[in-house]
Amino acid sequence: MSTVKTFDRVLKVLARNYADAFLRLALPDVPLKLAGTLENVELSIPEERVDFVHRVLRGKQEY
């Protein structure tokens, strides 16, 4: 397995199974609270399929 695929897999496992820790690592200076996770979501930015999406709160705003 290539290094890139291994790194991608590790990030996916971290993001899926340890979402709070992943968000703290990815956005260390942004105060967020995990609001929920949506699975098998399609985004159109341009159209890309993703495995899951986390909903987060920053203050009272949900993203």
pLDDT digits (tens, 9 = 90+) for 3-50: 778 888 999 999 999 999 999 999 999 998 899 998 888 877 776 678
Check residue 2 and give its pLDDT: 75
For residue 53, give Cα distances in angstroms to 2, 3, 19.
25, 24, 10
For tokens 């098998």, what's the residue? 40
Q: pLDDT tier at 1 (50, 70, 90 boundaries)?
A: low
Q: Mean pLDDT over residues 55-63, rounded?
A: 91
User: What is the spatial distance between Cα 41 and Cα 30, in angstroms, rounded to a whole number?
Assistant: 24
